[in-house]
Chains A and B, each alone.
Chain A
């Protein structure tokens, strides 16, 4: 398989994304290196073929957004909305990620080795997210399906208004959101965490994680609840 390099200090971003949307589908190029990303927005968005893209440096907003089948690695940090609405494949951030990482991802795996900002995994719809560090407040808000493994700590209102997504946290949780609760870890949970950690390349004891899932008390409107949940 061929390898290609795009230097964003010398080439416009559109040239990279156009190649990834068209030429890459011919299947001759297996690996694309992106140099000098310098915080540009929309790097390697909307991919839909199995190609490896390595971004060397810091990416801006929405890197790897809507990813399908491809593997996108960012050696530095990622801005707002990394891997937003991912369908499948993998997005791996070696540094930290800003707000809204993996928002509404339907599938695939998002790995963030450092910390993630606020609202990580908001409205998650089936994707998996593994965070090596901590996540900010309001993470997994209204998350519907999929799993989040958090190796560090979580901020306020973790898992607020959760649907069927399941969260695993190793560190401390500042506060749980409405309708989220701790549940006992089953063998299945331990296997799931072990498998996700393995895919992420992170070394933690799966038994050290706690499971958080929905109480499901918000699923049906309760006129007598008087807005007290």
Chain B
């Protein structure tokens, strides 16, 4: 199973309420995905030369007691970089103004069990094992602000229940993907991408789809072209929801085996696996509600 949710607010005033509107959506998908949950939220981008990375310390010895401030001191000492950190227990957002590859390489070398969840100017990413309500409370999802987000509740079928195999998956910068379904050719996709220098972090099938699409975007495809190539190359069942700094995109496989429903008003576009995750949204009784067609692309601009 698995549940997916997405929310894009059109009215700028609603950006402050993005998290509060989304949490019941995520919790509404608990029966579809009780073992892990996560979300990626997109907000106002940092300056051109700045980057932020979302980090997860749950797999380190210190867990939620990880010394995040100490990490910034180490970065200052080793790389001479002034990084700022916003910790939330086993999660932190680290911001700095040098090339992210340098910082990430240093982290992998000195803190190999620290998991890098996302990189970019706009994206913050949270994911962990636990019910959606537990994960939402752990990271204070209700207080999140931004223009759009992509969320997921997981019922694992293709790989183990661990924080790094929870969704969303990311690749490159400011790109994320959540998946309801199961791919039948993820290993073929991996064998195609790995010789091109693209490295995988898990054995999860969704990671293959995420890295494939990000690779196409990096090769110069626009989102629509990349998604079209996804239809041609990715085999299996999927409803994919993807986020970029200014877009939310949805596709379903040709057999539409995995559900999705959209509710759109003048104020927002909300997407969920089932209507029960949309029922609480303000004005939903008068929203345009529809089921996205299989093998069609739905792209909304933030």
Contacts and interface: CB of A to CB of B under 8 A. Distances in A.
A13 to B, nearest CB: 11
Chain B CB within 10 Å — which of A36, A58, A76, A118 has the most?
A58
Interface in A18-69: 36, 38-40, 57-58, 60-61
B294 A118 contact: yes
Interface in B259-292: 259, 261, 274-280, 285, 289-291
B255 interface: yes
A38 B291 contact: no
Nearest to B295: A137
Contacts of B133: none
Nearest to A96: B291
B294 A137 contact: yes
B275 A77 contact: yes
B223 interface: no
B189 interface: no
Task: Tell me whether chain B's interface is mostly helix, strand or loop, or mixed.
Answer: loop
A96 B290 contact: yes
B275 A118 contact: no
A57 B285 contact: yes
Given A99-B256, A118-B256, A118-B294, A39 B278 contact: yes
Nearest to A115: B291
B289 A60 contact: no
Interface string B139-161: 00000000000000000000000
A79 interface: yes
Which of the four size classes fits the interface of chain B? 10 to 19
A95 interface: yes
Contact of B289 (A38, A76, A117): A76
A79 B274 contact: yes
A39 B291 CA distance: 13
A80 interface: yes
A39 B274 CA distance: 7
A98 B289 contact: no
A98 B259 contact: yes
Contact of A58 (B259, B279, B293): B279
Contacts of B275: 38-39, 58, 60, 77, 79
A84 to B, nearest CB: 15
B289 A77 contact: yes
13 contacts: A39-B277, A57-B285, A60-B275, A77-B275, A79-B274, A80-B259, A96-B291, A98-B259, A115-B291, A118-B255, A118-B294, A136-B256, A137-B255
Interface of B: 254-256, 259, 261, 274-280, 285, 289-291, 293-294
Which 8 residue pairs of A and B lie closest in terms of their CB atoms, listed nearest first?
A39-B275, A39-B276, A38-B279, A58-B275, A118-B256, A39-B279, A39-B274, A38-B276
